[in-house]
Amino acid sequence: MATKQLESLSERIQDDDEDKLLTENQTADLMTIQPQTLSVWRTTKRYDLPYVKIGRAVRYRRSDVMAFIESRMVTSE
Centre a 10 Å sphere on the Cβ of residue 7 and count the other Cβ atoms it contains.
10
Cα separation, 38 vs 15, whole angstroms: 25
Question: What's residue 12's pLDDT?
Answer: 54
Domain ranges of the chain: 21-77
Question: What's residue 43's pLDDT?
Answer: 95
Q: Does 19 score more than 90 pLDDT?
A: no
Are 37 and 58 in contact, with CB atoms under 8 Å apart? no
CATH architecture of the domain formed by 21-77: Orthogonal Bundle (1.10)
> What are the tens digits of pLDDT across the range 22-74?
999 999 999 999 999 999 999 999 999 999 999 999 999 999 999 999 999 99
